[in-house]
Structure 1
Amino acid sequence: MQEDLTARLRKSYSYEIIGKDRENDFDRITEMAALICNSKISLISFSDGTKLWCKAVKGLSVKELSAVLPLSTYSLASAEIFITADMFNDERFKEHPEIGSGEKIRFYAAYPLTDNNGVVLGSLSVMDTVPQKITTTQQKLLSLLVEEISSLIQERVKKAEDKNIGLLFEHSDDLICILDKDLRFKRMNSSFNTKLGWTEQELKQKTLLDIVPADGIEQADRIWENFKNHAQQEDPTHQIAIKDGGFRMIEWTATAEERDGVIFAIGRDVTAEMEKNHALRVSEQKLKAFFESSQGLMCTHDIEGNLISLNPAGARSLGYRRSELIKKSLFDIIPAERHPNLRQYLQDIIERAIQRGI
């Protein structure tokens, strides 16, 4: 089977296909399949790559089903239509499932059930205890039933996806919205209200750019044009206004549909992160200013004592230019008799990550 079969089929639980009670829609299809082929038995099965589930069955008891169900693995493995008029004359079958009072399966036909990506989800099978050939017309009718099963699966896929999108919309702390090609709000989650104060009714009358502060419009417009044109951008972050005043910085991830230009977007509030980074830059600038203006000796060095930087006043006090000292180490500017102390100082830094004086 395909490598992604297991992962794909485990999602079938959310599709409400397997792991759920029998459903009339699938039961009717097994009934029609048996009638089309004039066969005693038909079933619809699904697999997650490790286990088989029977979704609908006609003509078998629970005990008989357990003996017959493994036949479904043939179509799952090949991903092709699998037909044998008489299993007794088919070398591919080493075992012949037994049902009822010693009767064994002779005729077997299976049609793979695939999703839109071609991944095999299961099979529709018909079988009988007597040899049988099926006509071209019967095969065509079975193919139509497979298409009907695929439609049922896709309905459940859409139902599950709609449910999951609904949960994501309601429970995510991020700003999530669907916009039309003109950036008008089509749908948005409650975070726009809880974090920014904008109600759904208000946003339905606006575009996203309508809630961007005036000094952020140019940047925001450029970002959303890039999203619409599927262009890469380094920093898709811009201001979004808070209804009662102020703004938050929002980093966006968005995808625009090729067909109609509808945009699916998720915005993460990075205001606190940006403020923290700004404070760090200011702190670094202040430290640099203090370093440069200090009248005492200040320097940075590596764990071997090689000088990395030195303040101007410190270089002058030693009788050097800064450019000359950068090529030296502490061992060059500290008297030889204090080198043992210097070595201990450097060793203490390695071991304790801090040291005060030599």
Structure 2
Amino acid sequence: MDAVPNPVESSVRAALATVHDPEIGRPITELGMLDSVVVDDAGAVTVRVLLTVAACPLKDKLRTDVTAAASRVEGVTSVAVELGVMSDAQRGELRQTLRGDAPSNEIPFAQPGSRTRVYAVASGKGGVGKSSVTVNLAVALAAKGLSVGVVDADIYGFSVPRMLGVSSKPTQVDNMIMPPSAHGVKVISIGMFTPGNTAVVWRGPMLHRALQQFLADVFWGDLDVLLMDLPPGTGDIAISVAQLIPSAELLVVTTPQLAAREVAERAGSIALQTHQQIVGVVENMSWLDMPDGSRMELFGSGGGQAVADSLAATTGTRVPLLGQIPLDQQVREGGDAGAPVVLAAPGSSAAVALQGVADALAARQTSLVGRSLGLTPAAR
């Protein structure tokens, strides 16, 4: 005669189906992480959860979430959580669950069916605030409920982890890299793999391989938007992005200054050679709001619109000026503290302007360029 299932145990298992692995973002019951649930006659529950790796950086959060979910079940008097570790075979099954039969080196964002919008944030020169713009746009988009990732593709000048406040290291599970996240944004950077503030001294082929690993070996899940913080100029990384993700669109960041404007036009004009679309231009450091309500245009004016107009004429496409970001001390403070200004000071003039750019990007529909529409010719 079959044993009658314990109703409390069934309820606990149902409750644990709401607990998501903090790195993968899917229920632990779907990932093979829930090993066992035992309930005694007094209502004491013991849950055994298998970690993907022993050094899982978020195991304490997982323990807390499992305890909270099980404790809410009626009839449960206490909860004990035991943590084990998956075997190699179980990790292999997990990879199969997440990746299916896709080749290990396949870049999901480059596949014809991808719904992820990829924005490569470019600038002609350094010092225009490209990384600050990237980080704040990512956080603003995530706050809208979108699934967002950031690739810090500025290998030599990586700064995104600090600006996002990410201190944890990625976790590797059976040749997959699980990216850490902050403020709802998943992020990967070469800075997570180098000790201290060590300089990266690589030539072009190594840069290309690193970028390919960031895109193919990292498990991003189902992203709505992927932002790539490119190094300044039109070098190896910009070319690699066009090769690895042909559908990536360029977002050009400049300041009003003439020198910055000229090099920004060169950075954007690479789209002619790579056949990429330019989504728009963001003018940063546009002015400084003065106490009397006036504006001081420290770097001149009109540079962003001039870049947009020049790129529109060069490419023969519409290139809008998506926003003008004023100088704001809170942007710098937020970047240093790992608290982006759109969250730390949402009412500031810079945060409002950045939110406007994020609104424009979030409202865009996924491009149909290069995708099959599933149409067949009608018979005559």
TM-score w.r.t. structure 1 length? 0.22
Q: Which has the higher contact order (CA 8 A, sep 6+)?
A: 2
- The structure with the larger Rg is 1
* Structure that is richer in helix per residue: 1
Scaled by the length of structure 2, the TM-score of the pair is 0.21
